[in-house]
Copies of this chain bind each other. A is one copy, B any other.
C-alpha cells in the first residue's frame, strides 16, 4: 500500500543551492523525502524538481504549507505547486463514438489502477451511454453542428464546472475545442492523437500512414493547446506494421497503442509527475 504524500513540483531559474534549500526546509519541518527527482535544462537555464514527502510526521499540511514555504519560493523565483496524494482528482472524459479508450479508462478507474474519480462522460454522440452506465458513470450527450458549436461547448463547460472537474481527457473526442475552452484548463486537457506526432497530424492519420507506406505506426498523448496537435507531448509509443496491413488493420493495431499511451499519460498527470515548459514536458517517472 502506497503511503500518503505531499508532491511538491518546482520550476525556477537554475542557481546553486536550490536542492539544499528545499530539502533543508523539508527536514526542518520533519518531513521524510521518499522520492526526489531533478532536472536542469541547459539550453534555457531552467531548473525542475519533484519531491514526494511522506505525510506521516510531516509538520505541515494543506492549510499551513503555503505560508511556511513562501520565503523559499520567493528566494529562488519559483513557479511551484503542491498536490496531496489523498485528494482524488476528478477526471472528466470527453468522447465521440469510439469505445476503446473510454472503456479502458473507466476500467482502470474502477479497479483503482488510476486513482481518479470519474464524475462524467460527455459525448457529441449517444453511442457510449451504455458503456458509461455499465461503470455507473453519468453520461451526457450534447450533439453538435457547425452552427451550434459555441452553445454545445457551453453545455459541456457547465457540466465540467458543476461536477468540479480537475482535468479533462479527450478519449478520441473528434471535435476541436475552442481557444477559450482550452485556455480555461491550461495543462489540464489531455488528448490522444492516433499517430506518431508530428507525423500525420490532422485528420485520418491511419489513412495517411497507409498511403505513405510506413513500417511503424504510433500514438501520441499530449496536453492540448491552441495549436492543433502541437501541444507538449507526454507519452508516445509505436509498433511495427507491414505491407499486409490494410487501413483497418492499422486502426485495429492502433487501438491497442492508443489505450496504453493515453492511460500512461493520464497516470503521469494523476500522480503529478509532469512539468511543462517551452512546449515540452519534463516527466519524472
Assess whether A152 is interfacial by the CB under 8 Å rule. Answer: no
Contact of A212 among B30, B42, B198, B238 (CB under 8 A): B198
Interface residue from B20, B134, B246, B255 paired with A26 (Cβ < 8 Å)? B20
Most buried by B among A20, A32, A41: A20
Is A151 at the interface (CB under 8 A from chain B)? Answer: no
Residue of A213, A214, A278, A279 with most partner-chain B CB within 10 A: A213
Rounded to whole angstroms, the CA-CA distance of A34 and B18 in the bound complex is 11
Contact with B along A193-237 (1 / 0, CB 8 A): 000111110000000000011111010000000000000111111
Closest Cβ of chain B: how far from A145's Cβ, in Å? 27
Write out the residue numbers on chain B whose beta carbons fall within 8 Å of the beta carbon of A232: 213
Question: CB within 8 Å of B: which of A9-60?
Answer: 16-21, 23-24, 26-27, 30-42
B281 touches A243 (CB 8 A): yes
- Count how many chain A residues have C-beta atoms less than 8 Å from C-beta atoms of the other chain: 64
Residues in B with CB closer than 8 Å to A113 are 252, 255
Of the residues B33, B111, B200, contact of A198 by C-beta under 8 Å? B200
Instruction: Say what secondary structure dominates the interface of chain A.
Output: mixed
With A27-B16, A32-B16 as known contacts, state yes or no: A236 contacts B214, CB within 8 Å. Answer: yes
| A255, B104: Cα distance in complex, Å | 12
Q: How far is the CB of A182 from chain B (nearest CB, A)?
A: 18
CB distance from A26 to the nearest CB of B (A): 7
A81 within 8 A of B: no
- Alpha-carbon gap, A214 to B198, bound state (A): 8
17 contacts between A and B (CB under 8 A): A18-B33, A19-B19, A20-B24, A39-B243, A39-B244, A103-B107, A113-B252, A196-B238, A197-B199, A198-B199, A198-B212, A213-B280, A213-B281, A215-B233, A243-B282, A243-B283, A244-B285
New A-B contacts (13) at CB < 8 Å, excluding given A19-B27, A113-B252, A256-B263: A16-B27, A16-B31, A16-B32, A16-B33, A21-B27, A33-B38, A37-B38, A39-B244, A134-B134, A198-B212, A198-B214, A212-B233, A212-B280
Query: Which are the 8 A-B pairs with shortest beta-carbon distances?
Result: A213-B280, A20-B27, A199-B199, A20-B23, A134-B134, A215-B236, A19-B23, A243-B282
